[in-house]
Amino acid sequence: MDLIADKRGTLEIKNSNLHDVNMELVNEFSQVPLKRDEVYIRSMYLCNDMIDAYASRFTVEALEEITRLVVGESVLKGHQHSSLPIARFFKAEVVEKDDHNWVRAWFYWLKDTEGALDLARNIDGGVYREVSISWRYKTAACNICHEDIRKCPHIPGDYYSGELCFYEMSEIQEVLEGSLVFKGGQIGTSIAGERSAKKDISSSKRKQKEEQRKIRELEKENRGLRKFAELGKRRVKEIKEEILRLARVVSHVEEDSDRFIRIQEKMTAAEIDCDLLMDYWKDFKRDFDRLFPPRRISMVEELSGNAQKSENVDSYRIGG
Ligand SMILES: [Zn+2]
């Protein structure tokens, strides 16, 4: 079942200007061709990816979905679904503003209609300042356990080991409408004019910025991996040396020089499988320990007066 929600914001006023491209988009919804001086155009910062008063937030993907779904939908007053719309959304994009991602949605209404001028004056004069979106969505993932918040034991807004529980909304199914409302719920949501605001970072710039960030992350990861690779190479070299030392002793005691030659060939080969290397290491350690039991036993021998044997054992110990 889809969830239905609505969110509130605040309005902010900017001057509007003519944009031919906007009129092309507006005319996609008009039955008769409209000219720029026949319509009012404003925009809304409709919703964002911040954690809101309901301990929920949109993912960036959800914001992208909203930009596609809001186009063509109605602007209402106070979510009055029974009344006719006062304006219509014709364009939307995700922009970055104040370090957060926002859906900015543009809407228009006709000048030569009853109440049109009042609406423009109230918006431009700062009386109508807050906006709100209604939408349906499918996924509400808990940030603590990543399960569906409706099924997991966590409560949005509560703290768990000092971490605030909230849920992330994604898979937006439908945008029902955007409304002018008396009180907003999301921080900083606002109304703006027709032109792109200077403080906005457009979708393409935002994506470019995101790609650059990813490249920087990959470069950092790569540097880390190179360090690991260097450490790995050193360790392989040490293990090979240790295997050769053990092999030399074991093959000498067992008078099996062929075994030593075989392992020497393997250890000096250009490449060796890591699993195989560890197997050789285990084999020679086992053989060595069989021939020269660990120090605990030699100490027993020492206590029993067999000092000569324990010296021999020590002289064969690897790594001193
Ligand atoms: Zn949970």
Distance 149 CA to ligand 1 centre (A): 6
pLDDT digits (tens, 9 = 90+) for 213-263: 888 889 888 888 998 898 988 999 999 999 999 999 999 999 999 999 999
Residue 310 lies in a domain: yes
Last residue of a domain, one of 169, 201, 233: 201
More reliable by pLDDT, 69 or 269: 69
Report the domain count for the chain.
Answer: 2
User: How does residue 26 score in pLDDT terms, banded at 50, 70 and 90?
Assistant: very high
Q: Is residue 280 part of a domain?
A: yes
- In the predicted model, what is the mean pLDDT of residues 294-318? 51
Checking 309-314 for CB contacts under 8 A at 24+ apart, the result is none
**Residue 127: C-alpha distances to residues 106, 119, 157 (Å):** 19, 10, 32
Residues 87 and 129 in one domain: yes
Confidence check: pLDDT of 10 > 50: no
Same domain, 65 and 175: yes
Range of the domain at 254: 217-315
Both 163 and 45 in one domain: the answer is yes
Cα of 213 to ligand 1 centre, how many Å? Answer: 29
Domain-embedded: residue 263: yes
* CB atoms near residue 313 (< 10 Å): 18
**Same domain membership, residue 264 and residue 142:** no
Q: Report how far ligand 1's centroid is from the alpha carbon of 137 (Å).
A: 18
* Residue where one domain finishes, among candidates 135, 166, 201: 201
Residues 196 and 294 in one domain: no
Say if residue 113 is in the same domain as residue 253. Answer: no
> CA separation (Å) from 153 to 51, 126, 156?
20, 43, 10
Range of lowest pLDDT (33-42, 80-89, 299-308): 299-308
Angle at CA 69, nearest 5°, toward 197 and 108?
50
Ligand 1 center from residue 55 Cα (angstroms): 13
In terms of pTM, does the model score above 0.75? no
Whether 77 is in a domain gets the answer yes
- Cα of 165 vs centre of ligand 1, distance in Å, is 8
The alpha carbon of 169 and the centre of ligand 1 are apart by a number of angstroms equal to 14
Residues 135 and 237 in one domain: no
Same-domain check for residues 126 and 252: no
